[in-house]
Amino acid sequence: EAQVTQNPRYLITVTGKKLTVTCSQNMNHEYMSWYRQDPGLGLRQIYYSMNVEVTDKGDVPEGYKVSRKEKRNFPLILESPSPNQTSLYFCASSLLHGELFFGEGSRLTVL
Amino acid sequence: GENVEQHPSTLSVQEGDSAVIKCTYSDSASNYFPWYKQELGKRPQLIIDIRSNVGEKKDQRIAVTLNKTAKHFSLHITETQPEDSAVYFCAATYTNAGKSTFGDGTTLTVKP
């Protein structure tokens, strides 16, 4: 089954404790991207990658890191989480010029 | 960078009526305009998209129109049904650069 898998789905952590949200796709898509969704603010792009070893900042990259060492994986790293990073995070993938396929989302709470 | 404005933020219609959601964008380089539907607690899913070389596209009860000169595009849903109730997001993408900018979303409620 074609899918984008994110883990963990839910996480409560404390300020400053490094965490990684994993994202994996099995559709051989070149493009992968991370978004955060906050009430009334839609989906805001954090980072994206158009291919292996190629990553670029989206609109809200501060406080986040990503890497793309393999085509299928695109982890999101929060080196020192803060309460303003409490949000619902979506990973998505696509062929270079097409429809985004979203993961199920990861709800993160930073205390 | 790109800026996408979406209106209205909430829309309530009676079952069977039509619903229209409008988006404007600022970057003339944007060339791909998808619409996503997000049901409560679920992930966004594509319902229709349009590219900059096309003015209109239709898929059963759903249609999208694009006016490149005015930099706006609209989603039209006819004969609305309760299962159309969801949040709808528009987006503007410059596919060569990879950046996608989403509107803030429209919460559509279809009353039976």
Q: Give the residue ranges of DSSP H helices in A2-109.
A: none
Using pLDDT thresholds of 50, 70 and 90, give the confidence band for residue B42.
Answer: very high
Amino acid at site B45: Q
**Contact (CB<8Å) B102/A42:** yes
- Indicate whether B13 pLDDT > 90: yes
Which amino acid, one-letter code, is at A11? L
Query: Is there a contact between B13 and B82 (Cβ–Cβ < 8 Å)?
Result: no
Task: Compute the mean pLDDT over every residue in chain A, rounded to the nearest whole number.
Answer: 95
Chain A nearest CA to B40, separation (Å):
12
Task: Collect contacts of B73-78 with beta carbons under 8 A, ≥24 apart.
Answer: B73/B22, B73/B23, B73/B25, B73/B33, B74/B20, B74/B21, B74/B22, B74/B23, B75/B19, B75/B20, B75/B21, B75/B22, B75/B35, B75/B48, B76/B18, B76/B19, B76/B20, B77/B18, B77/B19, B77/B20, B77/B108, B78/B18
Residue A98 has pLDDT above 90, yes or no: no
pLDDT above 90 for B2: no
Query: A-side interface with B, Cβ within 8 Å?
Result: 31, 33, 35, 40-45, 48-50, 56, 58-59, 90, 96-97, 99-100, 102-105
Query: In Å, how far from its chain's centre is CA A21?
Result: 7
Residues of A in contact with B52 (CB under 8 A): none
Q: Token pair of B69, please?
A: 């000169």
Q: What is the interface size between A and B, counted as CB pairs within 8 Å?
A: 53
What was the pLDDT predicted at B97? 73
Q: Mean pLDDT of all residues in chain B?
A: 94
The answer to whether A45 and A92 are in contact (CB under 8 A) is no
Q: Give the model's confidence band at A51: pLDDT under 50 very low, under 70 low, under 90 confident, else very high.
A: very high
* CA-based nearest residue in chain B for residue A3: B43
Residue B99: the pLDDT is: 83
Partner residue facing A97 (CB), from B9, B91, B95:
B95
pLDDT tier at A1 (50, 70, 90 boundaries)?
confident
| pLDDT the model gives residue A60 | 95
